[in-house]
Chain A
Amino acid sequence: MNDLLRKLRPERLRELVLLLLILVVLIFFSTVIEYYLNARLFNRVSTSVAIMGVLAIGQTLVILTRNIDLSVGSMVGFTAYFVGQHLSQNNEITPLVAIFMAIGIGALMGSFNGFLVAFCRIPAIIVTLGTMALYRTLLVEYSDAQTVLTVNLPKWLLDLPRVNVLSYERLNLRLMVAGMFVVVILFQLILRNTSFGRKLYAVGSNPEAAKNSGFPNQKIIFTAFVLCGALAGLTGFMFLARFGNITVVAGSGLELKSVAAAVVGGVNIFGGSGSIFGAVLGAVMIDLLENSLIRWLQISEFWRDAMLGMLILTSVATDSVIMKHFRNYRLKKTSHTNS
């Protein structure tokens, strides 16, 4: 028992509980919605999660350092528009160049956030609230009220959301979903196995201690924002591929969802704890709920956002109450055996 307890870190428990909750949601909706559990649901939710998941990973990196990035929605919108417009004008741009263009622009915007937060010491919530509006206005001005139209986009981009890596019966693993898995694994490895990853947690859980141990706190925070921007850029590219028609409102509201995904996925809003895998699970949960609620006729349009809000509150509350008890309990039990 104690052995099991020692292995079961609080983060792991949260992830397990979340997995269980996702199952509960699936079972619940399959009883109230007709034709619910089918291949189409998997294909749809997975493609949608691919976009949200990548963004949630970026958000997680920033939250781990005790900061927040509210400008991600605007960054996604701007990148989607910018890359879309260039691809419309020049269909010869290769996929790889387009992807790097998106990541580059995102990183540039992220570095501006990072610079203000890390080196000018302005609170992240203020900085990114400002740049959220700033990047959005930049998009409104830059776009000159024109819309990116699917008609002008190259064929490979329009076909991208339909490309499958694996197919079993009618279950499809779309290329975009596989892309998200690559990003998940990459960042999971970075966080677990590199010194940057460990410093990220250290800066978030105890900035003073990290500073006293000689960690370059500000540089680490800056890097987190740049990476978050880069991932928002990548999300922008995926967004463009999936939705095709990009107007100036593209991506608005994603900031809330990405924070929600991270928090529901067990990333501590006060920094220092949480995992990439958890954030992606959080994205799955939110997306599944959203996709299911719009099909559940009993719930009106106006209640859906409220449900999302309640979900965030519940998970933060559970985190602080239940997890605290669990941590204490685990500490007591395991320290007993040690002594």
Chain B
Amino acid sequence: MFYRKKITLVILFTMLIGSIAMGHTIAKKGLRADLVLMPKFLGILVFDQANEGAKEAHSEMKNPGKLLFLGPTPENSVAGQIEILTTATTQGQDGIMISNNAGDQIAPAAKKARAKGMTVVTWDSPIPSSDGEQLFIAQVDFNETGTVMADMALNIIGPSGGEFAVLSASPDASNQNAWNAAMKEALKAPKYSKIKLVDLVYGDDQSEKSYNQALALLDKHPNLKLIMAPTTVGIAAAAKAMQDEGLCDKVKVSGLGLPAEMVSYTMNGCAPEFALWSFVDLGYLSYYATYLLATNQIEGIVGETFKAGRMGYYTIEKDPTRDKGMRVLMGPFTVYNKGNVEASAK
């Protein structure tokens, strides 16, 4: 009995030593860092959820500094993001977390922020060239997103095959572009040979535009069987459009959606299957990484491992989905269908 206890202790001790030796950083609490969380724009539910996660981490760290949630207004997203980043630099904020909606146009402002010693971390959507960005917190592996989308398409269209189209957000959103590219890549595998991607359109994350685009897709492609929308706004708008036209039997909708917004369409068969990850966790993890960087507890180099509170250990790696840049991969996907959507919508 006593012996076994001793062994357990030894094992625990070894694990502890081991973790220190491997350079696992456990965050020191109470260090001061003024941080800014910047969404693509204000007023979208998932970004607010990310803010909840960041606030949770902020209070866990007992950071005496401030955590601000600053975003541009929707119609001014690109210019507004650059402006907020520039202002944050001038104000001397210690770090910023960006869900980039401005493509590479934000890179010069990000580089200036870095030159002033500010920590720049991206989450949700990276800077494509990674210029000015220290780290990207990837919600899921972007290549995996492509496979998940292709799999859902195959699942819904069925083995006999058919046509489908993508309804994306905006042509400037680097995450959307990466996912669409990854899906096209995945579709080359032989098992998808019978499903055919016929079109790619943009709804700009506006309900009305996405709705009209979904209807136009039907007209352009009379044999369309599925609309794949990797955006929470687009998928809900497309589902409403199919329901309004009474076409849910013919054309299905899938993509990335929020259970609360999609539950009725999943139950009535318009959108039998869709996927997403937790945005609360994404905000939480982004905060940890940024806090650690801003307080110099990690350097932000490949191979570094740190602990993000309740979510456990994460390692910084080279981002395989971009030419340059580093990432921390969160994951995984949750796929929603009739079986689990109602419970998740609560």
Q: Are A252 and B74 in contact (CB under 8 A)?
A: yes
Q: Do A245 and B240 touch across chains, with their CB atoms under 8 A apart?
A: yes
In the complex, the answer to whether A248 meets B43 with C-beta atoms within 8 Å is yes
List 8 A-B pairs, minimum CB-CB distance, nearest first. Answer: A248-B43, A145-B48, A249-B74, A294-B216, A151-B264, A245-B236, A243-B207, A140-B43
Whether A245 contacts B233 by the Cβ 8 Å rule is: yes
Contacts of A44 in B (CB 8 A): 215
In the bound assembly, the distance between CA atoms of A242 and B48 in angstroms comes to 26
Interface string of B26-64 (1 = CB under 8 A from A): 000000000000000111110110000000000000000
For B71, give the chain A residue with the smallest CB separation: A140
With A136-B73, A149-B261, A252-B74 as contacts: A246 and B43 at CB distance below 8 Å: no
Is the pair A136, B75 in contact by a Cβ cutoff of 8 Å?
yes
**Given known A136-B73, A140-B73, A244-B240, contact A145–B43 (CB-CB < 8 A):** yes
Q: In the bound complex, what is the Cα–Cα distance between A133 and B220 (angstroms)?
A: 36
A-chain residues with CB within 8 Å of residue B44 when the two chains form the complex: 145, 147, 247-248
Q: Which residue of B lies closest to A296 (CB)?
A: B220
B contact residues around A301 at 8 Å (CB) = 171, 201-202
Q: Which residues of A contact B43 (CB under 8 A)?
A: 139-140, 143, 145, 247-249
Report which B residues bind A (CB closer than 8 A): 41-45, 47-48, 73-75, 171, 201-202, 205-208, 211-213, 215-216, 219-220, 222, 233, 236-237, 240, 244, 246, 260-261, 263-264
Partner of A295, one of B216, B246, B263: B216
Given contacts A137-B73, A147-B45, A248-B43, 15 further A-B contacts (CB under 8 A): A140-B74, A145-B43, A145-B48, A151-B264, A242-B208, A243-B207, A244-B240, A246-B207, A247-B205, A250-B207, A250-B208, A294-B212, A294-B216, A295-B219, A302-B171
With contacts A161-B244, A239-B208 known, is A245 near B201, CB below 8 A? Answer: no
Residues of A within 8 A of B41 (CB): 249
Give the interface centre of B41, B171, B236 by most chain A CB atoms within 10 Å. Answer: B236
Of all chain A residues, the one with the shortest Cβ separation from B209 is: A253
Bound together, the chains give a CA A48 to CA B209 distance in angstroms of 11
Contact A35 B207, beta carbon cutoff 8 Å: no
Which of A139, A245, A250 has the largest count of B CB atoms less than 10 A from its CB? A245
Residues of B within 8 A of A164 (CB): none
A243 to B208, Cβ gap below 8 A?
yes
A120 at the B interface (CB under 8 A): no
Q: Is the CB of A243 within 8 A of B237?
A: yes
Cα-based distance from A98 to B253 in the complex (angstroms): 31
Name A220-271 residues within 8 Å CB distance of B. 239, 242-253
Known: A140-B42, A150-B240. A245 touches B260 (CB 8 A): no
| Interface 0/1 of A104-145, CB less than 8 Å to B | 000000000000000000000000000001001101100111
Closest to B265 in A: A150
Within 8 A of B (CB), among A132-176: 133, 136-137, 139-140, 143-147, 149-151, 161-162
A-B contact pairs, 6 of them (CB 8 A): A150-B236, A151-B264, A161-B244, A248-B74, A291-B212, A294-B216
Cα-based distance from A89 to B326 in the complex (angstroms): 45
Hey, which chain B residues are within 8 Å of A291, CB to CB? 212, 216
Smallest CB–CB gap between B265 and chain A, Å? Answer: 8
Output the nearest chain B residue to A294 by Cβ-Cβ distance.
B216
Min C-beta distance of A251 to chain B, whole Å: 8
Closest to A36 in B: B219
Instruction: Tell whether A322 is near chain B: CB-to-CB under 8 Å.
Output: no
Q: Closest residue of chain A to B241, judged by CB? A: A243
Number of A residues near B (Cβ < 8 Å) is 40
Q: In the complex the two chains form, is B206's CB within 8 Å of A249's CB?
A: yes
A164 to B108, CA, bound (A): 54
A245 to B261, CA, bound (A): 8
Which residues from A are CB-within-8-Å of B206?
A: 247, 249-250, 252-253
Chain B CB within 8 A of A306 CB: no
| Residue pair B220, A295 in contact (C-beta under 8 Å) | yes
Q: A89: shortest Cβ distance to chain B, in Å?
A: 15
**How far apart sit A147 and B48, CA to CA, in the bound complex (Å)?**
11
Residues on B with C-beta less than 8 A from A248 are 42-44, 74
Mark out the residues of chain A between 297 and 320 whose CB falls within 8 Å of any chain B CB in the assembled complex: 297, 301-302
B219 adjacent to A40 (CB under 8 Å): yes
Chain A residue numbers with a CB within 8 Å of B222 are: 35
A246–B261 alpha-carbon span in the complex (Å): 11
**With A and B bound together, what is the CA distance between A139 and B74 in angstroms?**
11
Question: Which of B202, B207, B216 has most chain A Cβ within 10 Å?
Answer: B207
Contact A243 B219 (CB under 8 A): no
Complex contacts, A162 vs chain B, CB 8 Å? 244, 246
A51 to chain B, nearest CB (A): 9
Knowing A250-B208, A295-B216, say if A243 contacts B240 (CB, 8 Å). Answer: yes
For B240, the closest partner residue in chain A by CB is A244
Report how far A245 CA is from B43 CA in the complex, Å: 13
Closest to A147 in B: B45
Known: A48-B212, A140-B42, A297-B220. A150 touches B264 (CB 8 A): yes
A75 vs B237: C-alpha distance when bound (angstroms): 21
- In the complex, A146 Cα to B211 Cα: how many Å? 19
Contact B244 A294 (CB under 8 A): no
Chain B residues, CB < 8 A from A144: 48
Instruction: Contacts A35-B222, A249-B74 given; indicate if A243 touches B211 (C-beta within 8 A).
Output: yes
The answer to whether A252 and B75 touch across the interface, beta carbons within 8 angstroms, is: yes
A251 to B205, CA, bound (A): 12
**Chain B min CB distance to A155 (Å):** 11
Tell me the bound Cα distance from A75 to B218 in angstroms.
31
Contacts of A295 in B (CB 8 A): 216, 219-220
Given contacts A48-B212, A136-B75, A301-B202, are A245 and B219 in contact (CB under 8 A)? no
Q: Could you say which residues of chain B place their CB within 8 Å of the CB of A246?
A: 207
**A146's contact among B45, B219, B244, by CB below 8 Å, is which?**
B45
What B residues does A297 contact at CB under 8 A? 220
Which A residues are in CB contact (< 8 Å) with B213? 294
Interchain nearest-CB distance for A90 vs B (Å): 19
Which residues on the B side are within 8 Å of A245 (C-beta)? 207, 233, 236-237, 240, 261
Residues of chain B contacted by A149 (CB below 8 angstroms): 236, 260-261
Contacts of B171 in A (CB 8 A): 301-302
